[in-house]
Amino acid sequence: MTPELFFQYLFAGITYGIMYAIVAIGFNIIYNTTGIINFAQGEFVMLGGMISISLLQFMPLPLAVVCAVIITMLVGALIEMIFIRWLDNPSVLRLIIITIGLSILMREVALHIWDESIRSLPYFYGNEITTIGIGPVRISPQVLWVIGVCGVVVIGLSLFFKITPLGREMRACSANRTAAILCGINTRNMVTFSFMLSAGIGALAGCVMSPITYTQYDSGTALAIKGFTVAILGGLGNSMGAVAAGLLLGILEAYSVAVVPLAFQDAISIAILLIILFVRPHGLFGSSEAARLTEF
């Protein structure tokens, strides 16, 4: 492998890794406040991409992205209020099955609205062939957008959870639900907020990655699985861990293409997940004790 190729693979891996990390952060937000893994998280990503592509016909790109994020946030809140809010002490199995059902339903609705064709947003800067040289490698400016958005999301989230009252209430809710209720925090509202927040982050991810990965009605499933893999690798609920694990998985995947056929790429990354689950069930960076009680 030539040094150029080595770095080219490295950057491809980083790009995908960052995308996985953003999806994983979406998982973590809901998990932290509710203990639920939202199997429909990938569908938020798909919705964000699809809605922004449709809105682009009526408005400029930045506005379309903002509107898509807001609409997806509303969808997320609506879903939580209709399907989850009023359940009394549901079992994990029940919640898993409900969110799986939701993901099927959202996918099917998307299929009937946007049919099966593959769409994408235009590149935010330049076009398909615009590249920026970094040392020996050339990357698309969209990659910088992806990395930038991820950075903003991670920093923004940690500020949000540390500084704002709402963020602190959500953290209290994840640390000890009963105590949070006793302090007068409406924990049910916090759960709705967490769904909104994670839907918004998913949608934002869906918008920035759409020019690179394209968007189709069923593109959410594969992303959700990768995102979940990363969330578990990094330790459920740990956002910095998710970024590290995302980069690790993305880079491993990128280099695996050099060794095994592309068709086996998914199988490889899932096999890695299985092995890590068996050896360290609480993830690479998570400790079993702190699995739920994490700083965001």
Partner 1 sequence: MKSSKVFPLCILIGLVIGVQVVTQLTDKTFYLTQLTMAAYYTLVVIGLSVLMGYAGQISIGHAGFFAIGGYLSAALTTHNLVSLQTHPFIQALGSMGMLIPGQDLYGEQLLTVAPWPACLFALAVAAVVALVLGVPVLKLKGHYLAMATLGFGIIIFRIGLATEFFGEADGISEVPAFVLLPSLAGLPALSVSGDFGHRIENYYIAWGLLVLGMVLLLNLIDSRTGRALRSIHGSEEAAEAIGINTARLKLAVFVLSAVFAAIAGVFLTHYNGGIGPSEASVMKSVRYVALVAVGGMANLWGVLIMGVTLTFLSLRGVFGSYDDAVFGTILILVMLFAPDGILSIRGKALLARFKKENA
Give me the residues that bind partner 1 (CB under 8 A), please.
37, 83, 87, 90-94, 96-98, 100-105, 107-109, 112, 221, 225, 228-229, 232, 236, 261, 263-264, 266-267, 270-271, 273-274, 277-278, 281
Minimum distance of partner 1 from residue 223's CB (angstroms):
13
Q: Which is nearer to partner 1, 60 or 261 (CB)?
A: 261
Place of tokens 């959202």: 106
Q: Which is nearer to partner 1, 212 or 225 (CB)?
A: 225
Minimum distance of partner 1 from residue 267's CB (angstroms):
4
Distance CA 281, CA 255 (A): 25
Minimum distance of partner 1 from residue 29's CB (angstroms):
15
Distance CA 263, CA 49 (A): 25
Scored b (16 or more CB within 10 A) or e, 158-189 reads: eeebeeeeebebbbbbbeebeebeeeebebee
Nearest-CA neighbor of 141 among 122, 120, 155?
Answer: 122
Amino acid type, 56 = L
Q: Which is nearer to partner 1, 74 or 275 (CB)?
A: 275
Q: Which is nearer to partner 1, 101 or 136 (CB)?
A: 101
Q: Which is nearer to partner 1, 52 or 229 (CB)?
A: 229
What Å distances lie between residue 248 and 97, 159, 175, 254, 273, CA to CA? Answer: 30, 25, 28, 10, 12
Minimum distance of partner 1 from residue 277's CB (angstroms):
5
Minimum distance of partner 1 from residue 104's CB (angstroms):
3
CA atoms within 13 A on the CB side of 136: 9
Q: Which is nearer to partner 1, 39 or 145 (CB)?
A: 39
Amino acid type, 64 = A
Minimum distance of partner 1 from residue 273's CB (angstroms):
6
